[in-house]
Amino acid sequence: MKKKIIFTGGGTAGHVTVNLALIPKFAQDGWEIKYIGSENGIEKQLVARLDHVPYAGIATGKLRRYFDWNNFKDPFRVIKGIFQAYSLIKREKPNILFSKGGFVSVPVVLAAWLNRVPVIIHESDITPGLANKIAMPFATRICTTFPETTKGLDKKKAVYVGAIIRDELKRGNRERGLAFCGFQADKPVLLIMGGSLGSQKINQVVRQNLDSLMRYFQIVHLCGKGQVDETLDQPGYKQFEYINEELADVMAMADMVISRAGSNSIFEFLYLKKPMLLIPLSRAASRGDQILNAESFRKMGYCEVLQEEEISTKTFLQKVADVFNNRDRYIAEMSKSNSDETMNQVIEMIKQLAK
């Protein structure tokens, strides 16, 4: 009889990436796979690209740390989501649930626990997000990407595993990336990523200094939904809201990256040995997780960091120059890292805990 696994996680691409990496492995092994996400979240679009992975959308609320009138409505949506997820899981009878986090995961994890289904949670950042903090008491195992994360968690549940890298990123081709963007082979390529939702702060400083950057680089700019500036269309500068199929090739051709400091992305850059300038989300706009992620990488010698509050034309261009001029040193440090075994370790854990 086929074993069955349900995946959950969403809200941003970062809460789906690890699931997208694991799903093909279980499909190859003959497992039946389902996905539970929000009714209209980005996870629905991303999972739709996968063959034979049924998607179920449930009601959910956003877990905010600030005042918003929706805070009074969302608990009722979460309760509705719990009932929906409970019914789904009771009907599907999965052997295990794998959760990547995000606000949609809370009702799904709780519903799995109520159905006595083992739950594995994956936490990418150094400090757990609010959704995972709420869900962790109901988990069987908690996988962490950073070793520091396990210190604040239940020792019986927490396991440091490292980062899970999507197989398709390992197959990227520089020549295909150059052809996709229409770039030359003899001029360095700068890749700029602001996360799946984009970053107005990064977009702004890049565009203000575009002429200076383009003296030295060809630039591919992933600027987020609705943030393409059509007035800046010119040779050597390519803008995209988001890239799916061609992302591996685009990353393969990059000589340097400017990015937010979301865990999934920076570990992918680490695996691919791409020198990084990280501009983490400020504490004013987040819980500070990206600042901690970036600082951990800086201490390891993998990147340079520029805080949002310190951004100016002078500091930005100086940091870009520092990273690019010292790229060989960063590549040498990143070459000492090894994350190849993480995927197999997590897959084996899932198989062992599946009831």
- Residue 198: pLDDT above 80? no
Q: What does DSSP say about strands 55-58 and 96-99: parallel, antiparallel, or unpaired?
A: unpaired
Q: What is the pLDDT of the chain when averaged over all its residues?
A: 91
Q: What are phi and psi of 55, to 5 degrees?
A: -115, 130
Is the pLDDT higher at 340 or at 309?
A: 309
Query: Is 196 flagged in the annotation as binding?
Result: yes
Please report which confidence band the pLDDT of residue 22 belongs to, taking 50, 70 and 90 as the band edges.
Answer: very high
Distance CA 74, CA 83 (A): 14
45 annotated ligand-binding residue: no
User: Is 166 labeled as ligand-binding?
Assistant: yes
pLDDT, residue 129, reads 84
Amino acid at 98: F
pLDDT over 80 (residue 69): no
Cβ neighbours of 229 (radius 10 Å): 13
pLDDT in tens, 258-283: 999 988 899 999 999 999 999 998 88
Q: Which sign, positive or negative, has the C-alpha torsion 193, 198, 204, 208?
A: positive
pLDDT of residue 63: 57
Q: What tens digit of pLDDT does each residue of 160-179 get?
A: 999 998 888 999 999 999 99
Q: Which of 172-186, 188-202, 243-257 has the lowest mean pLDDT?
A: 188-202
Q: Is 290 annotated as a binding residue?
A: yes
Mean pLDDT of 75-95: 93
Res 186: pLDDT: 96
HEC string of 298-315 equals HHHCCEEECCHHHCCHHH
- The reply to whether 13 sits in an annotated binding site is yes
